[in-house]
Amino acid sequence: MLHYFGSRLLRAIVSVVMVVTFVFIVLRLSGDPAIVIMGADAPPEAVDAFRTSWGLDQPIWVQYLTFFKAIFSGDLGQSMRDGRDVVSVVLERVPSTLALTVPAFLLNVGIGIPAGVYAALHRNSAIDRFVMVMAVTGFAMPSFILAMLLVLVFSVSLGWLPSAGQDSWRHAILPIATMGFGGAALLARFTRSAMLEVLGQSYIRTASAKGLSWSAVVWRHALQNAAIPTVTIIGFMLGGLVAGAVVVESVFSWPGVGRLLVVSVANRDLAVVQAIVLMIAITMVAANLVVDVLYGLLDPKMQLQTRQARG
């Protein structure tokens, strides 16, 4: 078990380093931030001075080593736009993003799992077909298309909800619904598949033959075993919510980390982009690491190996 968790932790660290390295190289090769920030009409002397002050005149490998050295010392740099500390710039947007992602995640789990379980227990019924139609629709529809449809219906046509901004709780309804619908659909689909696979196993029939009530069979045996693949999907969704906020916040002009990332990329504010990508990478990798740990705890084979090792 210790080897299992150690290997997953090492893989998580390598994944974060690879993502950050890729983004660092792409940002340096995709254009000169000095031209974008200073303007095309800026004097060459001013542009050269800007590059020197931010270390952009150094070879890319020197910039890379300096960047990682700063990360390990806890310094992610300053914004090239206003000189503010990058950590402060990003952290002040985190509450706005959490105001969307946390309710959306609860919506995913609160709707997706019960819908998937109910559909599996009533296979081929009208409810099952309805859940599957909604699941396929939500899974196939891009979030920006769903966002625009919601705006068109509830903001433009009906006028019930605002389409952009963060002035009240009503402004959060459409973004949360956009992020929650797709995730709930995906989770319902996988939960149904996991439950159907478990319900077809011999130990379910054995438990029923022993006289256990159907509710006890479902709660004690089916749900526990179906939770293994479901937890994996939940982990992916948790990390994907943070990355998906980039699209949703941009559509609804929500002042969160995702919108800050889009603006920073357009402005070539390298330090802010790198800090946000690092945060998103750590969040997604941490979510997957937690899933790996839970998978090891829930998997009966892993538990048996642990008991045999102790014995």
Domain boundaries, the chain: 94-255
Q: Mean pLDDT over residues 198-212, rounded?
A: 75
Its sign, for the CA torsion 3, 4, 6, 10, is: positive
Neighbours of 154 (CB within 10 A): 17
Other Cβ atoms within 10 Å of 24 Cβ, number: 20
| Percent share of the chain, pLDDT over 70 | 91
What pLDDT, on a 0 to 100 scale, did the predictor assign at position 77?
Answer: 79
- Of 192, 285, 301, 198, the closest CA to residue 236 belongs to 285
Q: Select the more confidently predicted residue: 272 or 204.
A: 272
- For residue 307, the model assigns a pLDDT of 47
How far is the C-alpha of 176 from the C-alpha of 300, rounded, in Å?
36
Say what the pLDDT of residue 297 is. Answer: 66
Q: Which helix (H) or strand (E) holds 208?
A: helix 202-209
pLDDT-wise least confident of 67-81, 114-128, 177-191:
67-81
pLDDT digits (tens, 9 = 90+) for 141-198: 888 888 889 889 888 888 888 888 788 888 889 999 988 888 888 888 888 888 888 8
At residue 1, the pLDDT reads 57
> Backbone dihedral region of 83: left (phi > 0), alpha (psi from -120 to 50 degrees) or beta?
left
**Whole-number pLDDT of residue 304:** 44
Average pLDDT over all residues of the chain: 80
Full DSSP string of 264-297: HHHHT-HHHHHHHHHHHHHHHHHHHHHHHHHHHH
Angstrom distance (rounded) from CA 92 to CA 205: 54
Q: What angle do CA 138, 144, 147 make, to 5 degrees?
A: 75
Q: How confident is the model at residue 309 (pLDDT cuts 50, 70, 90)?
A: very low
Residue 14 has pLDDT above 50, yes or no: yes
Structure tokens at 183: 């995730």
- Just give the CATH number of 94-255: 1.10.3720.10
Position 85 confidence tier, pLDDT thresholds 50, 70, 90:
confident
Residue 248 CA to its chain's centroid (Å):
12
What's the pTM?
0.77
- Provide φ and ψ at 85, rounded to 5°: -65, 130
